[in-house]
Amino acid sequence: MRPIFTYFGLPTLFIMLCMTVVAWLRYVGDKKSTYKLYKWVTAWAVLGCFLAISLAAAAWIMNMDFVYNHANLIWPFCLSLAAINGHPPVGVGLLVVGLMGVINGVYYAVLAALTWKLVRLLSNNQALN
């Protein structure tokens, strides 16, 4: 159970904390903002995809252990980097890099939607008090 929490629990909490802080600051700073859920989710999905592609490319080019040991707080799916260990052919490497970008983008999008709803719920409860 501990390895699952290490790879998914702590990174998920860290990512959601960052998203919640950004959403809360945005909400407090401009309560009349018409920032839509789809813009919020899309922005975080693109960020997650970009981070994953960057880290996967770095793992492919550099020492895999260095990236693996330092990337798991930003990218919970860094275990998938094992697929590009040993310098596979270019086609396989590009496929893994692309898939990891998509997987991480979807993961960030789901977390962004959850934090958006959480911040809206908290702000509505605060307005009622």
Q: What is the pTM for the complete model shown? A: 0.73
Residue 100: domain span? 36-128
The verdict on residue 20 lying in a domain is: no
Q: How far apart are CA 127 and CA 35, in angstroms?
A: 19
Q: Is the dihedral of CA 24, 18, 108, 93 positive or negative?
A: positive
Indicate the DSSP class of residue 62.
Answer: S
Q: What is the pLDDT of residue 126?
A: 60
The verdict on residue 73 lying in a domain is: yes
What SS3 class is residue 17?
Answer: helix
For residue 25, give the amino acid letter.
L
The verdict on residue 8 lying in a domain is: no
Backbone dihedral region of 86: left (phi > 0), alpha (psi from -120 to 50 degrees) or beta?
Answer: left
pLDDT tens figures, 2-46: 565 555 666 777 788 888 888 777 766 665 555 677 888 888 889
Question: What is the count of structural domains for the chain?
Answer: 1
Joined tokens for residue 39: 């813009």
Average pLDDT score over residue span 103-121: 85
The verdict on residue 74 lying in a domain is: yes
Q: What is the largest CA-CA distance in the chain?
A: 60
Q: How far apart are CA 75 and CA 77, in angstroms?
A: 5
CA separation, residue 109 to residues 29, 77, 92 (Å): 23, 14, 26
Kindly report the average pLDDT of the chain as a whole number: 76
The verdict on residue 14 lying in a domain is: no
How long, in residues, is the chain?
129
pLDDT category, 100, cuts 50, 70, 90? confident
